[in-house]
Amino acid sequence: MLSTLLATVGLPALTRLVSGGLSRIDNPIAKTAAKALDDAGTAIGRNEITPEQIAEANAHVQEMAKLDAERETAILTQINATMRAEVASEDAYVRRWRPTFGYAVALTWMVQMAGLTYAIVATPAIAGEILSAMTHLTAIWGVALSVLGINVAKRSQDKATAKGDMPKPGLLERLAAPLTGGRSG
């Protein structure tokens, strides 16, 4: 939510923060971006970029943050409706896809780790290459474990709601609260 941060902090402060971070990266593109942001900060300091222009930029960023929050709210509303339909479904598989996915991820992880362990023990000479090759699976495991984490969190929330407990607002709801005046959904 960069736009929310920018809307909250403001253009001059965020320019300094991002420039400082980029300047520590040993990469020519990052260094160039850091210098450009430093130059923008200098221009702001010399009033070459007027307070009116900064206010206009901040207003634009606030509008973008509002649009982002509205988009996120629409997405979460659709997800909520889908999950409500899933919970209300009489189809046993629709109600049990989360545990099925969890078991599938756990089984896949176990098989992969067993295979990895066997490959390293059986061919220690190329263990480094095997481990290096495993890094190519990071993205797919990141997605699978993220989905699993969301499934677990949402199932816990479903159980709390079924007991009559009001769920606590999530991170996105807490971030969007200042933009929506405390309204969620």
> Do 96 and 184 reside in the same domain of the chain?
yes
Domain end (from 46, 64, 88): 88
Q: Domain ends where: 88, 122, 157? A: 88
Which of 12-16, 34-38, 86-90 bottoms out in mean pLDDT, i.e. has the lowest? 86-90
Quick one: 185 and 97 in the same domain? yes
Residues 53 and 23 in one domain: yes
Q: Do residues 68 and 54 both lie within one domain?
A: yes
**What is the structure's pLDDT at 13?**
76
Listed in sequence order, the residues at least 6 apart from 12 whose beta carbon sits closer than 8 Å to its beta carbon are 41, 44, 54
Q: Quick one: how far is CA 48 from the chain centroid? A: 36
Whether residues 5 and 73 share a domain: the answer is yes
Within this chain, do residues 116 and 181 fall inside the same structural domain, yes or no? yes
pLDDT at 19 over 80: yes
Look at residues 88, 122, 143 and tell me which one is the last residue of a structural domain.
Answer: 88
DSSP 182: T
Looking at residue 18, what is its pLDDT?
83
When pLDDT is averaged across residues 6-34 and rounded to a whole number, the result is: 80
Residue 98 shares a structural domain with residue 182: yes
Whether residue 101 is found in the same domain as residue 177: yes
Alpha-helix residue ranges (DSSP H) falling in the chain: 2-9, 11-23, 28-45, 51-88, 92-122, 127-134, 138-162, 171-180
Total domains in the chain come to 2
- Within 8 A by CB and 6+ apart from 100, the residues are 93
Q: Which domain holds residue 126?
A: 92-185
78 and 119 fall within a common domain:
no
Would you state the structure tokens that stand for residue 180, as one six-digit string? 């929506």
| pTM (predicted TM-score) | 0.41
What is the pLDDT at residue 185?
47
Residues 32 and 116 grouped into a single domain:
no
Amino acid at 163: K
How many CA atoms lie less than 13 Å away from 131 in the CB half-sphere?
8
pLDDT at 155 over 90: no
